[in-house]
Structure 1
Amino acid sequence: MTSAAPIRSQNPVDYLKRYYGYDRFRPMQEDIIQSVLSGRDTLVLMPTGGGKSVCFQIPAIMLPGITIVVSPLIALMKDQVGALHLNGISAAYYNSTQTGREQRNIEEDCLSGKLKLLYISPEKLLTESFLSFLKRINISLFAIDEAHCISSWGHDFRPEYTQLNILKEAFPSIPTVALTATADKLTRQDIAQRLGMSDPAIFVASFNRTNLSLQVLPGQNRIQQIFKLLQQKPDTSGIIYCLSRKSTESLASKLQEKGFNAAFYHAGMDPNERSRIQEAFLRDDVRIMCATIAFGMGIDKSNVRWVIHYNMPKNIEGFYQEIGRAGRDGAAAQTVLFYSFADVATYKEMLAENSPANLGLQLAKLERMQQYADAHTCRRQILLSYFSEELPEPCGNCDVCRDPRVTFDGTIIAQKALSAMVRTGERVPMNLLIDILRGSRSQQVLQGGYDQIKTYGAGRDLRFEDWRNYLHQLINVGVIEIAYDQHYALRRGILADQVLYGGRRIDLVRPDDAPKPVVEKTKTKSETNRDELFERLRVLRKAIADEQNVPPYVVFTDTTLEDMARQKPVTPDALRNVSGVGERKLQLFGKQFLDEIVGYVRGRVQAGEKPKGSTQLVTFDLYNTGMTIEEIAAERKLTPGSIAGHLVQLAKAGYDIDLEALISPEDRYEIEKAINVIGLEEGRLKPLFDYLGGRYDYAKLALVAGIMG
């Protein structure tokens, strides 16, 4: 597999195919690239996993100078640059982890024009010495990644980003592209203004990540529910976001006890240990990361198959960015949010204690997040409406769409529960309250004298499990709260008085209409076989990644492996047609993946199956036994022309086949002479057959055409 010649095209799609292995852009990518190539300042709002990097990497390759990429996370630069190298793109990162000699080498590469992209942190970029150095090199573009960090309205404000306006002052003629995954209208305007952009083109891509399923589960028994969820997803990578550092450690420990490959990550850890754990997760050595929101910004790992929120996030921007770390490769991924009203109360207490300047805004954002969690309508419509995007029809890929809720007026149920709580002094836990409502003669009820209160037995028409379900719903909407410091006693929540005395209506969902466990469909034989090949390819990918010292998804994404497992290519040309296989990766890894696929296909043939890609290999195996083309054709009940075609394709793909030995020199001479006279259209042998008066069969014509071509 020889190295491909450089591209001279002005068409971005040609670069996409060559370097990334894809035939077409995702929505909006090409328009953004054209805007950047035209020299216009450009602001890109594109969801995580939407393909932001390509929007500045392809212009970087096509433009004559070097692109400076400002990125806030030093830890990720190495992997981003490693991925570019495997795609055949010259790039480097420049940060404080390098020696002076390494940095001087990079500077020399910049000055000599060897590099197309240089990744750098804002802190390093803004030093006087580096700004002076930038004036000595040919810069074509500045790309500001995670641009929401520049805005105090953004959810992840970074003070050092605010100084980036110096780039426009020092280099007014060089265009800037700013990219972010989450920014409301206010934040977008702030980004453009603070960077000093001149009449920027603004692109807002759809926030509708259709491959992500959305689910909200009640916050009770979270750990048991997580165990069940993870048992359904063996050997997959995922993140569990927790509110506190302590929670990440205890949850990781409990998962390890159950045999799960888990670790924890938070800002209080030793920086070296934190880097080691993050690296282990990126490389699939750790599968499950229990983390605070300190983990994840800019995480490029494309094969995260699920994200679980152990606690409700404090705003939709953060939630959307965190779930966006799942399914970046476009394949199906699951997101689960555990929600209890206690999380809301915790955030409100934290805000009240800290009393930030924008307290009203933060409380409003918290309320929007709570509305999402409480929703009985399509969750994706709620999520998208927050980002000013309309989804006309329910999505079909959230828990509400899959199991539509039917609500009813549950105000009487709420009032009965609240009345019983008040009459017991708000001192009893949930199970005892239910016993009182149902008129139980249990020892606890009788000892407490609770059989004497007015609401004793007022809820005997409902089953114990139904009452438990309704109380959980009432806790989630704020009618009731749990006093964790008072032996889990139930007490009045913020809406309680409105329900008891203010005519507030409360809608509840009947337990029978609550979400049902999703039953997995039984897989067909072809799906099972495809999964088996996918697993073999995944093991190979991990071995290659470790050898190359890069994360596995940098070699090939899960979607590329799935496409390989579906297509089962057995030649380099066929592998080139797999989505995500660019020229450089074909050259580096093609043979190893083809060998794995060929071995798998042969095994299936021996088992009596006929998988895709097997017909050429069966012909090749028979050829290796010494059979002639005619004998192989008779054995396989195919025409000699088809068998000759198989052998020609295999010979071109590098298989050990001597085509010249399969035809006499005399016949070859006559056919070559005819081809030189009339020419030969690719794949069309009939004109040649007619010209030669049918004296030579199609097998011989195919062999000579293969030898000449």
Structure 2
Amino acid sequence: MFDAAPLLRDVFGFDAFRPGQEEIVDAVTAGENVLAIMPTGGGKSLCFQLPALIREGVTVVISPLIALMRDQVRALQEAGVAAGALTSGNTPEETEAVWAALDAGELKLLYMAPERLASGAAMGMLRRIGVSLIAVDEAHCVSQWGHDFRPDYLRIGELRRALDVPLAAFTATADAETQDEIVEKLFDGVPPRAFLRGFDRPNIHLAFSAKDNPRRQIMEFAAARKGQSGIVYCGTRNKTETLSQALREAGHSACYYHGGMEAEDRRIVETRFAREDGLIVVATVAFGMGIDKPDIRWVAHADLPKSIEAYYQEIGRAGRDGGPAETLTLFGPDDIRLRRSQIDEGLAPPERRAADHARLNSLLGLAEALECRRKTLLGYFGEADVTCGKCDLCDTPADVFDGTTPVRMALSAILRTEEWFGSGHLIDILLGNETDKVRARRHDQLPTYGVGKEYSKPQWQAIFRQMMGHDLVRPDPERHGALRMTEIAKPILKGEADIRLRRDSIRKAARRPAVKAMVSDEDAPLLSALKAKRRALAEAAKVPAYVIFPDRTLIEMAERRPASLDQMARVAGVGAKKLERYGSLFLEVITGAIEELHPARRKLAVRDRGDIYDQLLEKQTELARGTGGIDKPLSCSASQLAKVAQLKPDDRHGLERVLGERRAERFGDAFLDVLRAAG
């Protein structure tokens, strides 16, 4: 085996490997297919850069971010390594230098973005230059289950087969499903040699807090760390701009970063963050993957991340130098509602949405944890032997109580309503709120009606949130977010197991005002489903979503729940053309069934003449063989009935002009009775 120690020392300046690095370097150098899962800051890049110097030929590195590639290439070149990158961010001189080095057979590492593999010319070039190894950074991007899915990563498996060379895949975050998909997509299902180096970052302090004036909470957290480099992640672009302004006004050096900025402005922020000490970047998740800045001392989340994997990746950008780092994650009911709707409004298949809801539940479980957060976090990734002492719950244990009784009440309400409803309606049942929906479904007759008056609505919301965090219930995407019990909930319902809840979360909920939502909790899942349908139609037509229907129209659909096209036509914003084009599609989302109507009948829906048409049709059926039932069959066409409903003639003569003498004689009196009754 080649002795890597001299290169480690002379090129990279390290006297020894970090834990786990050496065996990965040996396997990659030996030409084995490798999957290495290492914590951020664990030295992943060295595990393919060092073998690249030992092996003959060129190592191709597939990496998702131009900024990351440029940073690594610059660092390698500074160390005297022949490395280059072919990216859209290159100057012509840089690209020319890379090609010259390739043609001369001097280049050892070639960095490329996965999108470049779409070019047939790229494949020809890679065949020609003598590639001996493929290294894939951020390999979780290949997975539909991962949180940074990049479709172009799917071409890497094809590249490996075409070049017939070993492949080494690296990532800091991959649960079991993501690992399985990496193996399937990159290694054709043949398990590579796997290295799981542990996910623990013991230098990072973990903390969560329920939102209570979140801007003040972030400002206080930053003020206590003034002069230190930090990142604040926000859920919206607008919030990044307003919060960075507030930080600047408070005397911090701060700027914002999001995907809506011009490319040059984003590069300026990236360069400032890499070079300036003490800069705070307030960003969406567009900022961060592959950040190589070692001295980020803190990361705060002003809004709940979208999954536990995303959370782990984002906090992992702090303390890469091994020094102490701190985190704070704020969460509230508005975050959970937003994340649920993002999942439900996506175009993923039901099983993917169900898995994403389960991932969000896992993050809620971390937010509502009763004991050591590090134990909960690492347990999600399969690590059981955990020591901590560096999280808010180890600093100050949570105030817990026996929550078995309220949880059993909630589970009973779910069971007795056959798992068809969301938390909003279930809370109305538990509180004994006599709403129209409760009365219409006769849920005021249930034994659980009114049994939960000991708690307020916000407190019940906190209880349901903790139930999701304990994975006792999951939203069912097929039922517009209705809550379903999991297997682990059943022993609690049967009285065979107990459960503890956090008292502080429920106490805070009692004094925290409810967040004003677009619609009620009960209607929110349906609104999400309607938005998903709108998005699919808008993308297919290549138009903005509001062109299909504006939000206010979808909100009214979710609240009124029209059961027919006639009722749909009465929703504000649904005109004749849109009813004809989209009515049945949205009605199917609401009712689960398609209403089949003759085109002539469909046009009447928007003119509020549909009921008249239906009554005329009923009378025609009764009189098809005359009043005695023995005459020759006779009927009107759909267009004739529609014309009668639309024109509403008020005498037999008017009917004859539409129907003709024979049909007017058979149906005239009955039709006129219908028209007069309709006014």
- Equivalent positions of 1:111-260 (< 5 A) are 111-172=103-164, 174-196=165-187, 199-260=191-252
TM-superposed CA distance for 1:303, in Å, is: 1.2
Distance 1:103 1:394, change over 3 A: closer
The correspondence for 1:383, drawn from 363, 377, 382, is 377
**Structure 1 partner of 2:560:** none
Q: Secondary structure at the match of 1:256?
A: helix
CA contact (8 A) 2:64 2:138 kept: yes
CA contact (8 A) 2:101 2:107 kept: yes
Distance 1:261 1:478, change over 3 A: farther
Amino acid across the alignment from 2:53: I
Unaligned 5+ residue runs, structure 2?
410-426, 436-451, 469-481, 509-679
CA distance in 2, matches of 1:152, 1:508: 33
> What is the CA RMSD across the aligned residues, in angstroms?
3.8
CA distance in 1, matches of 2:126, 2:344: 46
CA contact (8 A) 1:280 1:286 kept: no
**Structure 1 partner of 2:281:** 289
Q: Secondary structure at the match of 1:336?
A: strand
CA contact (8 A) 2:31 2:166 kept: yes
CA distance in 2, matches of 1:374, 1:355: 29
CA distance in 1, matches of 2:243, 2:207: 20
Distance 1:503 1:261, change over 3 A: farther
**Structure 2 partner of 1:78:** 70
Distance 1:199 1:373, change over 3 A: closer
**Structure 2 partner of 1:304:** 296
What do residues 201-242 of structure 1 show as CA deviations (whole Å, max 9, x unaligned)?
Answer: 111111011111111112112221222221221221111111
CA distance in 1, matches of 2:56, 2:403: 67
Residue 400 of structure 2 is aligned to residue 401 of structure 1: no
CA contact (8 A) 1:261 1:287 kept: yes
Distance 1:352 1:196, change over 3 A: closer
CA contact (8 A) 2:60 2:134 kept: yes
TM-superposed CA distance for 1:142, in Å, is: 1.3
CA contact (8 A) 1:308 1:337 kept: yes
CA distance in 2, matches of 1:162, 1:300: 25
Residue 343 of structure 2 is aligned to residue 325 of structure 1: no
What do residues 146-197 of structure 1 show as CA deviations (whole Å, max 9, x unaligned)?
Answer: 111122222211111111123223211x221111111122222222332246
- Equivalent positions of 1:412-423 (< 5 A) are none
More divergent stretch after superposition (208-217 vs 197-206) = 197-206
- Equivalent positions of 1:408-487 (< 5 A) are 408-409=401-402, 477=466
TM-superposed CA distance for 1:20, in Å, is: 2.6
Distance 1:136 1:349, change over 3 A: closer
**Structure 2 partner of 1:21:** 13
Distance 1:168 1:412, change over 3 A: closer
Q: Secondary structure at the match of 1:178?
A: strand
TM-superposed CA distance for 1:315, in Å, is: 1.2
CA contact (8 A) 1:409 1:507 kept: yes
TM-superposed CA distance for 1:350, in Å, is: 2.9
Q: Secondary structure at the match of 1:161?
A: helix
Q: Secondary structure at the match of 2:45?
A: helix
CA contact (8 A) 1:263 1:289 kept: yes
Distance 1:181 1:206, change over 3 A: same
Q: Secondary structure at the match of 2:40?
A: coil
CA contact (8 A) 2:63 2:111 kept: yes
Q: Secondary structure at the match of 1:31?
A: helix
CA distance in 2, matches of 1:185, 1:78: 31
More divergent stretch after superposition (119-128 vs 50-59) = 119-128
Amino acid across the alignment from 2:391: C
CA distance in 1, matches of 2:5, 2:20: 13
TM-superposed CA distance for 1:285, in Å, is: 6.2
Distance 1:302 1:513, change over 3 A: farther
CA distance in 1, matches of 2:168, 2:110: 15
TM-superposed CA distance for 1:13, in Å, is: 2.5
**Structure 1 partner of 2:49:** 57
Q: Secondary structure at the match of 2:208?
A: strand
TM-superposed CA distance for 1:342, in Å, is: 2.6
Amino acid across the alignment from 1:335: T
Unaligned 5+ residue runs, structure 1?
1-8, 427-454, 460-466, 480-492, 516-709
CA distance in 1, matches of 2:250, 2:483: 38
CA distance in 2, matches of 1:105, 1:294: 30
Amino acid across the alignment from 1:359: R
**Structure 2 partner of 1:105:** 97
Q: TM-score, normalized by length of structure 1?
A: 0.58
CA distance in 2, matches of 1:345, 1:225: 21
CA distance in 1, matches of 2:146, 2:406: 41
**Structure 1 partner of 2:265:** 273
Distance 1:512 1:269, change over 3 A: closer
CA contact (8 A) 1:255 1:261 kept: yes
Amino acid across the alignment from 2:69: M
Q: TM-score, normalized by length of structure 2?
A: 0.60
CA distance in 2, matches of 1:10, 1:514: 62
**Structure 2 partner of 1:42:** 34
Q: Secondary structure at the match of 1:20?
A: coil
TM-superposed CA distance for 1:425, in Å, is: 10
CA contact (8 A) 2:274 2:293 kept: yes
Aligned identity (percent) is: 39
Q: Which has the higher contact order (CA 8 A, sep 6+)?
A: 1
CA contact (8 A) 2:365 2:466 kept: no
CA distance in 1, matches of 2:505, 2:364: 23
CA distance in 2, matches of 1:32, 1:410: 47
Residue 356 of structure 2 is aligned to residue 362 of structure 1: yes
Amino acid across the alignment from 2:379: S
Distance 1:355 1:187, change over 3 A: same
TM-superposed CA distance for 1:472, in Å, is: 10
Q: Secondary structure at the match of 1:44?
A: strand
CA distance in 1, matches of 2:503, 2:339: 29
How many residues were matched structurally?
453
TM-superposed CA distance for 1:38, in Å, is: 0.8
CA contact (8 A) 2:33 2:166 kept: yes
CA distance in 1, matches of 2:504, 2:176: 40
CA distance in 1, matches of 2:502, 2:354: 31
Amino acid across the alignment from 1:311: D
Q: Secondary structure at the match of 1:295?
A: coil
Distance 1:424 1:250, change over 3 A: farther
Amino acid across the alignment from 1:380: R
CA distance in 2, matches of 1:141, 1:104: 23
What do residues 287-340 of structure 1 show as CA deviations (whole Å, max 9, x unaligned)?
Answer: 111111111111111111111111111211111111111111111111111122
CA contact (8 A) 1:305 1:327 kept: yes
Amino acid across the alignment from 1:24: A
Q: Secondary structure at the match of 2:206?
A: strand
**Structure 2 partner of 1:337:** 329
TM-superposed CA distance for 1:367, in Å, is: 0.8
CA contact (8 A) 2:399 2:504 kept: no
CA distance in 1, matches of 2:383, 2:244: 37
